Chains A and B, each alone.
Chain A
Amino acid sequence: MSQRVNLDLKNELFLYGAKEWNQCFQCGNCTATCHTTENDFFFPRKTVRQVLMGLKKSLQTNIDPWLCTYCGDCSTTCPRDANPAEMMMSIRRYLISVYDWTGISKLFYKSKALEIAVIFLLAIAVMILYLFFTTFPSGDNSQWIGPDGGALINKIAPWKRIHFGDWIMAGILIFLIITNVFYMWYKIILEDKSIKIGFIDYFRPVSALPKLFNPEKKYARCDEKKLTVYWILHLFLALSYATLFTIIVFFLEWFQTDSVYPIFHPQRLLGYIATVGLFVGIIYFYTNRTIKNLENSKYSHFTDWTFLILLFLTTLTGILLHFFRIYGMPQLVYITYLIHLMVLVPMLMVEVPFSKWSHMIYRPFSLYFAHLKKMAIKKQKIISDEYSQQN
């Protein structure tokens, strides 16, 4: 079945950040330098070509962009400055919007305004709920302060109520993520008629799981030594983020306590490490994106910034909240908690399913799917070889 070429696709991709699209004359240099290229995966060249030719179908079922580690070697060595690495990044943005069946993410990527608007609306919604379900620490301060000098945060914002909100949000997020991943699976595996994957095959790669779920490892192979620092920090950030996310969504009771534990109590220690992780990460990535010292931080889509900023604010308010609590300043606790939620919720709601954050899900899954594909291809080879040997 021959596909029809389409000039508009690359114009569409323009909105996702791709710029120098028509420079490429397919010298294949990128593929040559790329560390992720393997026998059956000629990227970034193949992918770039699909974009240039506007082969929507091939592109949407293409998994390669997710295997790209954005080491940037291709862009630095490209003779035409076609910037394939950034092209791959843009395609990832594009694919996120493709996998998102709701179509919301597409809107976000296409319009800054809309995204910001949504963020504010969510913030306001959160504020209203907050004001409705919490009580302002008015009157005598002493009644808001616990025996060990910390503010009685659960009296102000009872963890049960917050937790309730968390669960609703988490529910929505998980639903969206799962459905999106399914859609991704549909696009990448089902729509690719060239391969067949049996039910049992899905469970074969289990052995390779650890390898699969550490995409960062690939950076080690890149020339850019800086990137080792990069991936360590990125890993740190990711883990910290994950930790805090799990804690607040599932163990808020344990985390949000009135009593102030000693500094080496796991609750505080864990909190601090995670916070440091977030903070260092944010600063590192922020500086990268501003001084553009790395290939992968040269070009920033506004969604990259929104994610960073929101994350930063969340972290900051989180820290303040913590100190106001342990040093018993209920009013400030009340306010910072409000702000904290007003930033945190929109961040999660917008970024997790519809934007930057979602790569945390897609990356590992793409590796998983890629692995499946490779196995399938290998299998087909063996079969066809046997076939050819027989006759």
Chain B
Amino acid sequence: MEEKRIGVYICWCGTNIANMVDVEALSKEMQSLPNVVISKDYKYMCSDPGQDIIVNDIKEYKLNRIVVAACSPRMHEITFRKALETAGLNPYMFEMANIREHASWVHTDRNETTGKARDLIAAAIARVQWHESLEKRIAGVNPATLIIGGGISGISAALEIANAGKQVYLIEKSGTLGGIAAGIDLTYPFLNSAKQMIDHKINTVMNHPMISVYLNAEVKPEFGKKIVGLVGNFETTIKSNGEETKLNFGNVIVATGLKPFDAQKVINYGYGKLPNVVTSVDFEKILKSGVIITRDGRVPKDIAIIHCVGSRNENYNAYCSRTCCMTALKYVNQIKSALPKTNIYDIYSDMRAFGKGSEELYSITSRKNMMFLTFDHKENLPQIKQASYEDPFNLLIEFKEKFSGESIEVPADMVILMVGMEAHDDAKQIAHDVGISLCGNRFFIERHPKLDPVATTTDGVYVVGTCQSPKDIPDSVSQARAAAARVLASILVGKVEVEVTTASVNEEVCCGCQTCISVCPYTAISYSVEDKVSKVNEILCKGCGTCSSACPTGAIRSKHFTDQQILSQIEGMMSASKSKKNLIEIEET
């Protein structure tokens, strides 16, 4: 066992950490810990000069283990590992103490925070003692890509990849491509026909040599899980129109799209009971049919549009669906051009006109002869009633107008409910199948809300379009193409680093009790009868470590998260806070 020489580096992160943590004092203090050769603090460790400090010290002081106390490892672990590599040290001889997200940013008392930071750093130092160098493993990337969902996002991504000459498997649950966008008549803000746009794309996809489309397709579960493998080498079996096909692919793009909010949930609006209350989805159909008439075949004299149906309301969905406002204005324009005499009442909460051409659309529409009314989207929503027989109109909407405070009634022959977007009911299942996670609103979580909105926490799986968050067509398309670019890039590189922190079996100790086998979600562990021991397939293993904690003999070690490492992390952590703690208890007793 070679001598352990640890270098400790504490980051100020400008003032982010230094304000709440006495960085200098800590770096002095850490100097005294066992095996710590050098301990420094610096304004920005992640900056190039910061990394250079580490690189040089490794060379100068022959350091073989590095601890950096800075931000979250989810942020910069990779950065510093690279630094270690450049210095010729194995990247896994590194441990990070998160004293920003978990200390300086979340606490208010400087002493306490410093104390906590001390514990965390001490823990990291104690842990890094037991780190071992792990060798990178490289796997090839299968150039094919699986795209789940044949909506506008899926199609766009498919074409992007296929046009680059790479195979695409496009699977669609329904019988046709195009998704929601195909059901739209005109698109806002420029009122172009969606049909022209989509049909063309669909045809290209259907006839594209590099795209194989599977309609009415579903993925068949294997070992309870539908898509097995990992970035670069996934595999699955899909069932399309009865026949099964086995697919191998390197990347997955999830473009499962959205589900319109079920307006029946809002009782006030009587959708489903009152025939002339229609959702935006229904109205698109009416528009496509070419003639705007009520269910009872009359030309509507008054049309009311109600916004935020199922959106921005705790009882339904708290979030904003982003597209409804502009769609409503689109309707106003379409109705006005079809039936100039018809009165239009736009009952909204806030007009959200972001994005190119939208504000313009709003101001143009607001000049039209129509009425904007506001309602409180949180409580006492409008009440839609059947009008009495003598009334010349069909429906009556009663509510308290927010701006004027007047309680008013709006006559209408037809009411259009602008329903919001929801995640699919089987979103959770899909997430499970491809191994990604859902946010509170059951949309898929991207890797980073700002810096990485396309990738997910599972390498090789990308989310695009409305399954990630409510979006309009341009946003969906650009996200889809961004994903395509990412996929092509990974194909171009041709190889991926495979999870190194896998589990491994110490066959000297393994007694073959086979407890571990059924534990593994990736079927990476198998029992070899001749050796009478379990063996781990390191390609399939994703390193969750559940097996090693299930192993009663301690034969399975999950690399980089060994018992030894974690236990000493705990001990290190406590030993730092012990002294303080005892003192307190003495005071008490």
Contact = CB atoms under 8 A, between A and B. Distances in A.
Given A2-B398, A25-B351, A7 B370 contact: yes
B369 interface: yes
A50 B404 contact: yes
A52 interface: yes
A44 to B, nearest CB: 13
Contacts of A80: 363
B408 A4 contact: yes
A15 B65 CA distance: 85
Nearest to B407: A2
A5 B367 contact: no
Contacts of A26: 374, 403
A135 interface: no
A23 interface: yes
B366 A3 contact: no
Contact of B373 (A2, A3, A4, A5): A5
Contact of B404 (A4, A11, A22, A53): A53
B406 interface: yes
A55 B370 contact: no
A3 B403 contact: no
Contact of B408 (A11, A23, A45, A53): A53
Given A49-B404, A50-B404, A53-B373, A23 B409 contact: no
Contacts of B401: 49, 53
Interface in A20-54: 22-23, 25-26, 45-46, 49-50, 52-54
A3 B367 contact: no
A363 B177 CA distance: 68
A58 interface: yes
Contacts of A4: 408-411
A7 B343 contact: yes
B345 interface: yes
B409 A2 contact: yes
Range for the number of chain A residues in contact with chain B? 20 to 34
A54 B411 CA distance: 13
Contacts of A58: 404, 406
Nearest to B397: A5
Interface residues of B, number: 23
B509 interface: no
B372 A25 contact: yes
Contacts of B367: 22-23
B265 interface: no
A5 B372 contact: no
A5 B370 CA distance: 11
A4 B401 CA distance: 11
B371 interface: yes
B28 interface: no
Interface string B169-187: 0000000000000000000
Interface in B529-570: none
A26 B372 CA distance: 10
Contacts of B406: 2-3, 50, 53, 55, 58
Nearest to B401: A53
A261 to B, nearest CB: 61
A9 to B, nearest CB: 10
A46 to B, nearest CB: 7
20 contacts: A2-B406, A4-B408, A4-B411, A5-B345, A5-B408, A5-B410, A7-B369, A7-B370, A22-B366, A22-B369, A22-B370, A23-B366, A26-B403, A45-B403, A50-B404, A52-B371, A52-B372, A53-B373, A53-B401, A53-B408
Interface of A: 2-5, 7, 11, 22-23, 25-26, 45-46, 49-50, 52-55, 58, 80
